[in-house]
Amino acid sequence: MTDERPETKVLDGGLGTELAADETLVFKDHPLWTASLLKDNPKAIKAAHSRFLCAGSEAVITASYQASVDGFMKYFNVSAEDAQLLLQSSVDIAKDAVKEFSSANKSNKDLYVAASVGPYGATLHDMSEYDGHYVETMTTEDAKTTFHGDNFVESVKRVSLNPQVESIGVNCCEVTFVEELLRSVEDVLRPDQTLIAYPNNWQKFVDKRWVCDISRSFSGYVEKWLSVGAMGWIGGCCGVTSPQVGEMTQIVKNWNANLDNLKNQMHNH
């Protein structure tokens, strides 16, 4: 990490996982998944965002992964305008949670709301974004290709050319590949761009279901990702709950503090 790069920040965990921890919430079999709660139980979504913020998340990601105007119209039988409002509410709910957290904790920390825009397949509600390539290419081959089989370095190169892109990274891949993947693109970024690590917690997509291997460590990998230069954001996707975000936050805080100490020592010499 060079002097001009900001400190690494903490993203949230998997919103679906956090919501699923409450077994009274009904959404898992709904075609719109967590997005169905935008209509059925927006309070539960806000509470989940709040738990992530309390655990140290500096950005929360909206419950809109599987949301679309067509989907809301089809499954909730609402007008196009109302469907738009439901989509918009995903951002409003997250903003509300951030506002409440900031005022309750008298915090001036910069907190962000990130809109979750699922891959096109997610709006088809047939799991097509999780086809074989999604899991196999990324998790079993060589950690060099995207889910669509593109070369990862080449893909990042192309994306980094967009002046609007501030941060580029990996999401919902296996923890073991993150360090290698991100190192392979460290030198591809512009000096003002950073990397994102948002892997899942040992999740495998087997027989149309996510299976989690809880005997394996997630937080044990966080320092490896921090050691990659230009690390902008660290969080976790499926299988990562607010307590794990809390653990991550502690590791990131310690890392940032050590970096500050090193910088100060260098200035003093």
- Return residues touching Zn ion (CB under 5 A): 172, 200, 237-238
CB of 5 to Zn ion, least distance (A): 26
Q: What is the chain's Cα-based Rg?
A: 19
Nearer Cβ to Zn ion (121/229): 121
Which residue is listed with tokens 């992964």? 65
Identify the CA nearest to 114 among candidates 201, 17, 233.
233
CB of 204 to Zn ion, least distance (A): 11
CB of 173 to Zn ion, least distance (A): 9
Nearer Cβ to Zn ion (90/200): 200
CB of 195 to Zn ion, least distance (A): 18
If 0-12 CB within 10 Å is exposed, 13-18 middle and 19+ buried, where does residue 138 land? buried
Burial 99-131 (b: 16+ CB within 10 A, else e): eebeeeeeeeeebebeebeeeeebbebeeebbe
Residues forming a β-bridge with 203: 212
If 0-12 CB within 10 Å is exposed, 13-18 middle and 19+ buried, where does residue 94 land? buried
Nearer Cβ to Zn ion (14/246): 14
Nearer Cβ to Zn ion (18/188): 18
CB of 104 to Zn ion, least distance (A): 29
User: What are 24's two structure tokens?
Assistant: 């009274």
CB of 263 to Zn ion, least distance (A): 34
Please state, in angstroms and as integers, the Cα–Cα distance from residue 209 to each residue in 28, 73, 119, 199, following that order: 11, 26, 18, 17
Please tell me what DSSP assigns to residue 68: -
Nearer Cβ to Zn ion (18/179): 18
Please state, in angstroms and as integers, the Cα–Cα distance from residue 11 to each residue in 63, 142, 195, 211, following that order: 14, 26, 12, 23
Nearer Cβ to Zn ion (35/238): 238
Nearer Cβ to Zn ion (175/252): 175
CB of 32 to Zn ion, least distance (A): 16
